[in-house]
Structure 1
Amino acid sequence: MKTDIILAGVGGQGILSIASIIGDAAINENLFLKQAETHGMSQRGGAVQSHLRISDCEIAADLIPMGKADLILSVEPMEALRYLPFLSPEGYVVTNTTPFINIPNYPDVDAVLAEIEKQPHFVAIDADKIAAEIGNKRASNVVMLGAATPFLNIEPEKIEAGIAHIFSRKGEAVVEMNRKAFKAGLDFAMANK
């Protein structure tokens, strides 16, 4: 078993929290894990991406080669488009449909989503809207994690345990809100994959 994941977004959107939760779940499953992060100008809304490799045997390299990613999990649609060259022919793109417009020449959102929808395997979800309905817009990254879970090769219960572990220091209310966000994303993906 191996899963190569590109996590993509903009600084402040919770990419590193997603990576921490997946990493926690993988380690608790006794899986091997390698991660390489590129932060860019994350404090200023710059591009952030992380290569996350999970396997049941040792992993030699941190970086995922072009055309070999099993999953692109993007919390922003233009960032999903940016990393499509990494996607394997059998891989999935899971992206938020809500743009983070941080540059004056941001491309037409409908055109970006149309390119993503040309992929043979994708889930496009309005994670911001779902997070707002749950009661916390900041949980959109965990909605995205839920939507990506069917493609991680890790049981959803293990990811949920990772959520509880990573957010436990913030209190039970925060853990529970993130569990709701996760479940909403998972339910959406199961109905739309």
Structure 2
Amino acid sequence: MDKARRLPLRIRLIQWSARHVDRPWLPPVVAGFPAADFFVPVMPNQLLLTGLSALAPHRWPIFALAFAAGTASGGMVMAYAVQFVDVAPAGLAGTDEAADAVAEITRYLRLHGLWYLAAIALLPWTPRLTVVACAVVGIHPLAILVTLFFARLVPSAALGMSGAFGLQLAMRSVLLQRLSVRLRELLRA
């Protein structure tokens, strides 16, 4: 058994990401995570976007676009599933409590339309229930795609920038510099 096999899985994934972060095929591949997040919420996409941007600060705009496009395409697929395949919205949403939430969101969508979806899409988490409610109301999936893409650009860009420049900005802080010096002194002792 070689040394690489003995490392924990999370370390091997970080090493793999660091080796492949500059590859041209990576942004379309990682766009699949926010798209799949509508159906199978597996990992926090915000951490993935921030981490990739920290590993390759010069590529944060590409990663932000990929994540916005992934979220938009996942929302469109979910809307198509609800509208044209007749998948039960409660089954997609999860529980009876989620079905009640879809009913309440539907009321807001009838009042405010796609502006409501855009406002919810500005939040950092995936707007699953809002997309299901949009499909139930009858909003076309392409309108959902466009709204999600442009609205998700804002949080994606903010998370990408925080990953790319956050550590540099934090290290300019005098307090953090003092803390860093103090930690080094403690580690040497």
TM range (shorter): under 0.3
Larger C-alpha radius of gyration, 1 or 2? 2
Determine which structure has the larger strand proportion and give its number: 1
- TM-score (ref. length: structure 1): 0.26
Give the TM-score normalised by the residue count of structure 2.
0.26
